[in-house]
């Protein structure tokens, strides 16, 4: 229903007393066309108050609500009380329509498990459902890293994934032919998700996931961090990439590659310079719409 802005809280309280499980006050707003995400609440036009009550909302309950509303000391009379029946949405299934088969680069396909897809001979398919861990392929940084892995992962190579999240990059590396992939993430619960996804994709035997990162939190004390992988991929924040660049470069075997992402296009030039200072050569940047990635090689 519509009411004066000064009366909105009173009207909302009456809806709660009437049994509304949820109440929303929707102010009238005026958007500023000259500034993004800027608006002003207007108090000179009616605001809308909505409430959700369990069905059935009997005629007697509606009449009682109207009587209560008309008895309020309102500044101006309220507008018409409208009652609409809302069909329950099966959200456990409805959200799936926002996630379909996603093609990345030239050979990588990400398929939610409820979708059917027949892969072409040159394609690899990653079965991955949206979950609690970062990395479904929807984010631009993930797609940029997947595109880079198509170019740098060679059959039989070894890969280190720093900040593995869902494990999507580790799985992609294994499916592109990597012999062994080590995946690190600081969140132990995320590591469990990565292991489950690796199992689902049939590459668990080639992926070892553990909680940790480069440096003192290294997860494998018996394995040296220096020159431990042919390809090191780190899709983390720009601050973390900068701080870890020396360790990332040291982890790359001579002649190997580093794939870096997690930073915006506006920061890409600075990341290129930082990568070169850390010892990478043939450094290139690859921009998306808002995010960027950097690819470089460690000299032989």
Encode pLDDT of 173-193 as tens digits. 999 999 999 999 999 999 999
Domain boundary among 70, 100, 125: 70
The candidate with the shortest Cα–Cα distance to 149, out of 127, 124, 129, 166, is 124
Q: What per-residue confidence (pLDDT) applies to 37?
A: 47
- Whole-model pTM? 0.71
Q: Which residue has the tokens 């409820």?
A: 114
Range of the domain at 184: 140-297
117 domain-assigned: no
Q: Helix 268-277 to helix 238-251 angle, to the nearest 10 degrees?
A: 30
59 and 189 in a single domain? The answer is no
Inter-residue contact 124 to 107 (CB < 8 Å): yes
pLDDT band at 84 (very low <50, low <70, confident <90, very high): confident
Q: What per-residue confidence (pLDDT) applies to 137?
A: 85
Inter-residue contact 257 to 231 (CB < 8 Å): yes
Encode pLDDT of 197-241 as tens digits. 999 999 999 999 999 999 999 999 999 999 999 999 999 988 999
Q: What per-residue confidence (pLDDT) applies to 251?
A: 98
Q: What per-residue confidence (pLDDT) applies to 120?
A: 93
Average the pLDDT over 57-73 and give the result: 90
Encode pLDDT of 233-244 as tens digits. 999 988 999 999
56 and 144 in a single domain? The answer is no
191 domain-assigned: yes
Q: What per-residue confidence (pLDDT) applies to 271?
A: 96
pLDDT band at 142 (very low <50, low <70, confident <90, very high): very high
219 domain-assigned: yes
d(CA 12, CA 171): 51
205 domain-assigned: yes
Which residues lie below 8 Å from residue 256, measured CB to CB, with a gap of 6+?
Answer: 229, 230, 231, 232, 297, 298
Token pair for 192? 């469990």
290 and 188 in a single domain? The answer is yes
206 domain-assigned: yes
Q: What per-residue confidence (pLDDT) applies to 43?
A: 78
Token pair for 57? 């909302």
Q: What per-residue confidence (pLDDT) applies to 205?
A: 97
Q: What per-residue confidence (pLDDT) applies to 86?
A: 76
31 and 159 in a single domain? The answer is no
154 and 282 in a single domain? The answer is yes
Label each residue of the chain as H, E or C.
CEECHHHHHHHHHHHHHCCCCEEEEECEEEECCCCCCCEEEECCCCEEEEEECCCCCCHHHHHHHHHHHHCCCCCCCCCCCCCCCCCCCCHHHHHHHHCCCEEECCCEEEECCCCCCCCCCCCEEEECCCCCCCCCCCCHHHHHHHHHHHHHCCCCCEEEEECCCCCHHHHHHHHCCCCEEEEEECCHHHHHHHHHHHHHCCCHHHEEEEECCCCCCCCCCCCCCCCCEEEEEEECCHHHHHHHHHHHHHHEEEEEEEEEEEEEHHHHHHHHHHHHHCCCEEEEEEECCCEEEEEEECCC
Q: What per-residue confidence (pLDDT) applies to 99?
A: 81
Q: What are phi and psi of 166, to 5 degrees?
A: -70, -10
Domain count for the chain, please give it.
2
Q: What is the mean pLDDT of the chain?
A: 90
Question: Domain of 277: which CATH number?
Answer: 3.40.50.150
% residues pLDDT > 90 (the chain): 69
174 and 65 in a single domain? The answer is no
**84 vs 277, which has greater pLDDT?**
277
Encode pLDDT of 88-137 as tens digits. 655 556 667 778 899 999 999 999 988 899 999 999 999 998 776 677 88
% residues pLDDT > 70 (the chain): 93
Encode pLDDT of 145-168 as tens digits. 999 999 999 999 999 999 999 999
pLDDT band at 81 (very low <50, low <70, confident <90, very high): confident
d(CA 231, CA 254): 10
The candidate with the shortest Cα–Cα distance to 171, out of 152, 192, 194, 188, is 194
Q: Angle 170-171-174 (CA atoms, 0-180°, nearest 5)?
A: 90
CB atoms within 10 A of CB 119: 11
57 and 156 in a single domain? The answer is no
Q: What per-residue confidence (pLDDT) applies to 34?
A: 52
Token pair for 110? 């990400």
262 domain-assigned: yes
14 and 158 in a single domain? The answer is no
**248 vs 86, which has greater pLDDT?**
248
171 domain-assigned: yes
Domain boundary among 54, 70, 86: 70
131 domain-assigned: no
Domain boundary among 13, 48, 70: 70
C-alpha dihedral, 56 to 60 to 61 to 67, nearest 10°: 160
């Amino acid at each position: 229903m519509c009411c004066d802005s000064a009366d909105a809280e009173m009207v909302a309280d009456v809806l709660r007393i009437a049994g509304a499980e949820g109440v929303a006050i929707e102010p009238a707003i005026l958007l500023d066309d000259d500034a993004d995400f800027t608006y002003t609440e207007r108090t000179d036009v009616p605001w809308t108050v909505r409430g959700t009550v369990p069905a059935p909302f009997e005629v007697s309950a509606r009449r009682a609500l109207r009587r209560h509303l008309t008895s309020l000391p309102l500044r101006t009379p309220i507008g018409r009380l409208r009652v609409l029946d809302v069909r329950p949405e099966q959200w456990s299934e409805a959200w799936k329509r926002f996630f379909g088969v996603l093609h990345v680069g030239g050979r990588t396909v990400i398929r939610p498990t409820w979708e059917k897809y027949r892969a072409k001979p040159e394609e690899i398919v990653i079965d991955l459902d949206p979950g609690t861990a970062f990395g479904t392929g929807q984010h631009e940084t993930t797609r940029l890293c997947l595109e880079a892995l198509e170019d740098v992962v060679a059959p039989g190579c070894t890969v280190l994934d720093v900040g593995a999240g869902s494990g999507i990059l580790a799985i992609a590396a294994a499916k592109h032919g990597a012999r062994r992939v080590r995946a690190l993430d600081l969140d132990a619960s995320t590591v469990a998700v990565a292991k489950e996804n690796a199992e689902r994709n049939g590459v668990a035997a080639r992926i070892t996931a553990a909680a940790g990162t480069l440096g003192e939190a290294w997860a494998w004390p018996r394995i040296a961090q220096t020159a431990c992988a042919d390809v090191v991929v780190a899709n983390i924040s720009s601050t973390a990439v900068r701080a870890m660049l020396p360790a990332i470069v040291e982890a790359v075997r001579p002649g190997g590659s580093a794939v870096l992402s997690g930073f915006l296009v506006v920061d890409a030039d600075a990341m290129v310079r930082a990568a070169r200072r850390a010892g990478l050569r043939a450094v290139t940047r690859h921009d998306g719409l808002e995010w960027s990635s950097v690819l470089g090689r460690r000299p032989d």
